[in-house]
Amino acid sequence: MDYIERMKQKCVALRKQKKVKILAIESSCDETSVAIVENGRKVLSNIISSQIDIHRHFGGVVPEVASRNHILNIIPLVDQALSSAKCTLNDIDAIGVTQGAGLVGALLVGLTTAKALSFALDLPLINVNHIQGHIAANYIAFPTLVPPFMCLLTSGGHTAIIKVDDYVHFKLIGTTQDDAIGEAFDKVARVLGLEYPGGAKIDKLATGVEPKIKFIQHDIMSGSYDISYSGLKTAVINYVHKLEQNKEKLDVPQICASFQAEAVDMLVSKVLRACEDFGEKKLVLAGGVAANSYLRASLDKLSKKAGIELFYPPKEFCTDNAAMIGSIAYYQLLSSDPADLSISALANIPL
């Protein structure tokens, strides 16, 4: 029997197995991560090696540098994830991996490692969409959370309002037409002289500061669920440059607080409207910017008012990690066929 037929049969058998352990790999951007996850919910280990300190010198992620560091990290991380979960490769039932979206060179390191493990160990290969992984981070944090729900995905590369119908079916309700929210945070931080990645630094500097500056007069996407960040980002950059040219002092905490409030408020109003329009009473946050304290506080307040139950993962599960990949890989294994070894990394991948 050829490889893919054998793997399909293994998946059928695994669906009846009480405990399924997945070794999951994430390498889509600047975090290399390997995790062992049982039944999509129980994290036995989740080892993350961040390259932030390396890319900080360049003010952003350099794809080639990221790929090279993933190569150095990946095998030691597989070993660490296994030993931390007190497992050996013989205990693993399937291999989960991020296929996209992300940097192709970076993705290829994780994907090639996953294919090699799958082939050598004769285990099913589950190819995962990174965005779906971010959503699944909530299944780890909230053991009783089940779809359907509305999701607000806010990461460095994506910003979207997604209707999650079940574990593997998603509808895109609205998305950014240009920059992602995390990208806007990072670019504004850069112009303010804050180190990469600046999102968390803006969050910290804005704490306790009442926003007073209005950078854009209205949301050009108002009325739609879609979002645009390039106007706001450019307005902040122009504001900063103008003050610098006039040799005026920058009130950095004030700029941070005002930008953050504008960036978050437009998103919050749209996602709450989407919940109302689609009759969803559960709202789930996902992605790196879900760690933002203003976003959390604002949604805490407004969702309560609207009678919506709000979920957000702990901060370590907001940013990239392999545990979330192991979680979605499990639900994918339950419902669809495994991947063939011919699959390639995808820079963009539909939901």
Binding positions for Zn ion, rule: CB under 5 A? 155, 320
Q: Least distance from C-beta 97 to ligand KG4, angstroms?
A: 15
Distance separating alpha carbons of residues 194 and 240, to the nearest angstrom: 13
Residue 123 or 200 with smaller CB distance to ligand KG4 = 200
Q: What are the angstrom distances between the C-alpha of 75 and each of 22, 62, 70, 79, 169?
A: 16, 21, 9, 6, 33
Residue 186 or 219 with smaller CB distance to ligand KG4 = 186
Residue 155 or 298 with smaller CB distance to Zn ion = 155
CB 135 within 8 A of CB 153: yes
Report the candidate in 295, 285, 290 with the shortest Cα–Cα distance to residue 264.
Answer: 295
Return the DSSP state at 342: T
Q: Least distance from C-beta 316 to ligand KG4, angstroms?
A: 11
- Residue 211 binds which of Zn ion, ligand KG4, none (CB < 5-8 A, kind-dependent): none
- Residue 151 binds which of Zn ion, ligand KG4, none (CB < 5-8 A, kind-dependent): none
Q: Least distance from C-beta 65 to ligand KG4, angstroms?
A: 17
Residue 198 or 326 with smaller CB distance to ligand KG4 = 198
Q: Least distance from C-beta 185 to ligand KG4, angstroms?
A: 5
- Residue 338 binds which of ligand KG4, Zn ion, none (CB < 5-8 A, kind-dependent): none
> Regarding beta strands 21-26 and 31-38, do their DSSP bridges make them parallel or antiparallel, or are they unpaired?
antiparallel
Token duo for residue 201: 């630094």
Residue 136 or 272 with smaller CB distance to Zn ion = 136
Q: Least distance from C-beta 199 to ligand KG4, angstroms?
A: 2
Q: Least distance from C-beta 160 to ligand KG4, angstroms?
A: 12
Q: DSSP for 210-258?
A: PP-----SS-TTTTSS-B--HHHHHHHHHHHHHHHHTTPPP-HHHHHHH
Residues 6+ apart with CB under 8 A from 5: none
Residue 155 or 228 with smaller CB distance to ligand KG4 = 155
Q: DSSP for 279-325?
A: T--EEEEESGGGG-HHHHHHHHHHHHHTT-EEE---HHHHS--HHHH
Residue 113 or 154 with smaller CB distance to Zn ion = 154
- Residue 185 binds which of ligand KG4, Zn ion, none (CB < 5-8 A, kind-dependent): ligand KG4
Peptide bond into 148 cis (omega under 30): yes
Q: Least distance from C-beta 154 to ligand KG4, angstroms?
A: 8
* Host H or E run for residue 140: helix 130-141
Residue 203 or 280 with smaller CB distance to ligand KG4 = 203
Q: Least distance from C-beta 292 to ligand KG4, angstroms?
A: 3
- Vertex 183: Cα angle to 180 and 184 (nearest 5): 90
Distance separating alpha carbons of residues 107 and 109, to the nearest angstrom: 5
Q: Which residue is nearest to ligand KG4 (CB)?
A: 288
- Residue 30 binds which of Zn ion, ligand KG4, none (CB < 5-8 A, kind-dependent): none
Return the DSSP state at 341: T
Residues that bind ligand KG4 (CB under 6 A): 29, 155-157, 182, 185-186, 197-200, 203, 287-289, 291-292, 319-320
Helix (H, G, I), strand (E, B) or coil at 135: helix
- Residue 100 binds which of ligand KG4, Zn ion, none (CB < 5-8 A, kind-dependent): none
